[in-house]
Amino acid sequence: MRGEDSVGHLAVQRVGLSPSWAADPVDLLHQFGGLDAVVIVDAAIGPCLGQVDVWTLPQAKEAILPEKGISHLLGLREALLLAEAMDLLPPFLRLVTVGIGETGLGTEVDARILKAAEEAARTAERLLKEAAEEVALD
């Protein structure tokens, strides 16, 4: 695990789930099928250490997902844009990002990141609850 890059896994653990290894972001496309709501928690370089933000996909494309030509490893940006192009996105999608610092192999995770993972987990739960209520209202 690469230091604070693991914050997504930490958040998933705090929701009470076991994170599965999905090294390739395009694997997300195979998991979107039939889902009404998806919250993605990911590390972000740029925001302040431990800062938790919530984005819709249009907001994320503008603000947080790195502009990068497609390489052999398709990143989260390419995965989400491919899903959008092929109409595979779930009706409710939010990206929760946590600002991180150290990403070296074996580096310790800062206490602020551990706290932020907790906040990201609670945020994800809240967002999913809101999404469920929206679906119920519909």
Partner 1 sequence: MRTRKIKVDMLARVEGEGSLSVKITGDKKIDVELGIFEPPRFFEAFMVGRRHDEAPDITARICGICPIAYQISSSTAMEDALGIEVSGQLRELRRLIYCGEWIESHALHIHLLHAPDFLGYEDAIQMAGDHPHEVKRGLFIKKIGNHLMSVVGGREIHPINIKIGGFYSVPSKAKLEALLPDLEKALDEAVDAALWTARLKMPVFEPETEFVSLVHPDEYPLFGGRLASSEGLDIPLSGFLDEFMEVHEKHSHALHGRRKNGGCYQVGPIARLNLNREKLHPLSAKLADDLLPEKKVVNPFKSIIVRAVETVYALEEAIRIIKAYEPPAEPSVETKVKKGYGVGCSEAPRGICWHGYEIDDRGDIVSARIVPPTSQNQPRIEQDLREMIPGLLHMEDHDLRWRCEQAIRNYDPCISCATHFVRLNIERPS
**Alpha-carbon gap, residue 72 to 68, rounded angstroms:** 12
Residue 136 per-residue DSSP state: H
Phi, psi dihedral angles at 48 (to 5 degrees): -60, 155
Nearer to partner 1, 16 or 33 (CB): 33
Phi, psi dihedral angles at 46 (to 5 degrees): 135, -60
Of 8-16, 53-61, 77-85, 111-119, which segment contacts partner 1 by CB under 8 A? 77-85
35 binds partner 1 (CB under 8 A): no
69 binds partner 1 (CB under 8 A): yes
Q: Which of 53, 78, 110, 119 binds partner 1 (CB under 8 A)?
A: 78
**Alpha-carbon gap, residue 32 to 90, rounded angstroms:** 6
**Alpha-carbon gap, residue 130 to 52, rounded angstroms:** 18
Q: Which of 17, 35, 45, 86 binds partner 1 (CB under 8 A)?
A: 86
Q: Which residues pair with 40 in a beta bridge?
A: 95
Question: Closest approach of Cβ 126 to partner 1, in Å?
Answer: 31
Q: Which of 9, 13, 15, 29 binds partner 1 (CB under 8 A)?
A: 29
Positions in the binding site for partner 1 (CB under 8 A):
21, 23-24, 26-27, 29-30, 69-74, 78, 81-82, 85-87
